[in-house]
Amino acid sequence: MPTAGTSSAAPDATLAPPNWADDSTPLGRLISAVLAVEPLRQLLFQQARSMMIRTAEQRGIPWRARRDELRRQAEPLLAACTNPATTTPHYYRARFHAYNQGNLCWQAACEAEQATASVALRVWKNEPLTPEAAEARMREAIFAAIAPSLTSPVRDALDVGCSVGISTLLLKTWIEARQGHPVRVSGLDLSPQMLAVATVRDHQHRIHAWHHAAAEATGLPPASVDLITLQFVCHELPAEAIAAVLREAARLLRPGGVLAMVDQDPQSPTIRAMPAPLATLLKSTEPYLAEYFALDMEAALRQVGFTDIRCVASDHRHRVLVAR
């Protein structure tokens, strides 16, 4: 794993997106052309999905059994987790991952925990880690990257794009261990199914509130939060939505409050050198990935008024941007 380091805010030539994600390159165009053939795309999807489930189960993630168990428990909670006043932006209804209904379906929600553990295992794929150990290592590195920016106590934290609450619960555990006293941590997501699963997973009721809202229009009071995290969310957003989410985060933060975002690092040598077949699969399941890779995130943060921006590689695939 490369050593974590900070970058200056100055853009450089390596900011160009990986060639496979960039349609102005021959490889990017070829991959997009392949994915435009619907039967081919479907076939790739199905193969990728079967391979993912098989690999996960071989490595100790009980993919299908856990999915069925979560669904049984979460389904009765759907109405309680739905805010009828919430407007779902059009871009959010896109096909994400291998799911035609994107994040708005039970399958996505009941497989998110297993998929997250698979991502963590993939980061250290040559080490014999358990899914739990890989997940813990990935989050510890993320939180360690945030720590230097937290110079005053956190009373309220908000995990935006909380999905099924893995990042939210771990964030609460980390802040409380660090501060030695309880903190109010809430999660926010646009998928009621994800929130229903989050509620099931939060069986000890440790989370203050699970909000069903859009990250760019949370409806929460201004200057009400000390720390906002966006963990693995931005690559699911078009560039315009990212700008709106950053504006909303700035509105929600108290003076001196901190925003931390972790996601794929467009400059990661591992990601840039991804073999074409894998890149094709990834591109086929992430509709806004190319936009995310093309965006200068530090500039986007500065534009909204964030300062003290730090960029830290938390592992060889992911970077954490922390700003005040």
Ligand X SMILES: C[S@@+](CC[C@H](N)C(=O)[O-])C[C@H]1O[C@@H](n2cnc3c(N)ncnc32)[C@H](O)[C@@H]1O
Residues of the shown chain interacting with ligand X in the complex, contacts defined by CB under 6 A: 92, 103, 116, 161-163, 166-167, 189-191, 194, 214-216, 231-233, 236-237, 241
Q: Please state, in angstroms and rounded to a whole number, the distance separating the CA atoms of residues 289 and 124.
A: 22
> Rounded to whole angstroms, how far apart are CA atoms 193 and 195?
5
CA dihedral in degrees (251, 320, 129, 58; nearest 10)?
Answer: 70
Shortest reach from residue 5's CB to ligand X, in Å: 22
Measured from the CB atom, the residue of 26 and 221 that comes closer to ligand X is 221
Specify the amino acid at residue 202.
D
Nearer to ligand X, 10 or 285 (CB): 285
Q: Which of 60, 35, 89 is nearest to 241 (CA)?
A: 89
Contact 218, 252 (CB under 8 A): yes
DSSP string, 6-47: B--S---GGGSPPGGG-TTSHHHHHHHHHHTSHHHHHHHHHH
Q: How far is the CB of 218 from ligand X (least distance, A)?
A: 8
The minimum distance between CB 47 and ligand X, in angstroms, equals: 22
Which residue reads 């960029």 in tokens? 311
Least distance to ligand X, CB of residue 159, Å = 6
Least distance (Å) between residue 165 CB and ligand X:
8
Q: Pick the closer one to ligand X by CB: 90 or 181.
A: 90
Cβ proximity to ligand X: between 43 and 80 the closer is 80
CB nearer to ligand X: pick between 8 and 70: 70
Q: Which CB sits closer to ligand X, 113 or 156? A: 113
Expressed in angstroms, the distance from the first to the final Cα of the chain is 27
Under 8 Å between Cβ of 250 and 281: no
Residue 251, SS3?
Answer: helix
Q: How far is it, in rounded angstroms, from Cα 282 to Cα 121?
A: 17
CB of 88 to ligand X, least distance (A): 9
Q: How far is the CB of 238 from ligand X (least distance, A)?
A: 10
Whole-number Cα distances in Å, 307 to 148, 215, 292, 321: 14, 21, 21, 11
Rounded to a whole number of angstroms, the minimum distance from the CB of residue 113 to ligand X is 9
Q: Which single residue brings its beta carbon nearest to ligand X?
A: 161
* Token digits of residue 60: 């100790």
Q: Which is nearer to ligand X, 11 or 219 (CB)?
A: 219
| CA-angle at 283, arms to 22 and 25, nearest 5° | 20
Residue 142 or 309: which CB sits closer to ligand X? 142
CA atoms of 231 and 264, how far apart (whole Å): 10
Helices 106-123 and 38-58: crossing angle in degrees, nearest 10, is 60
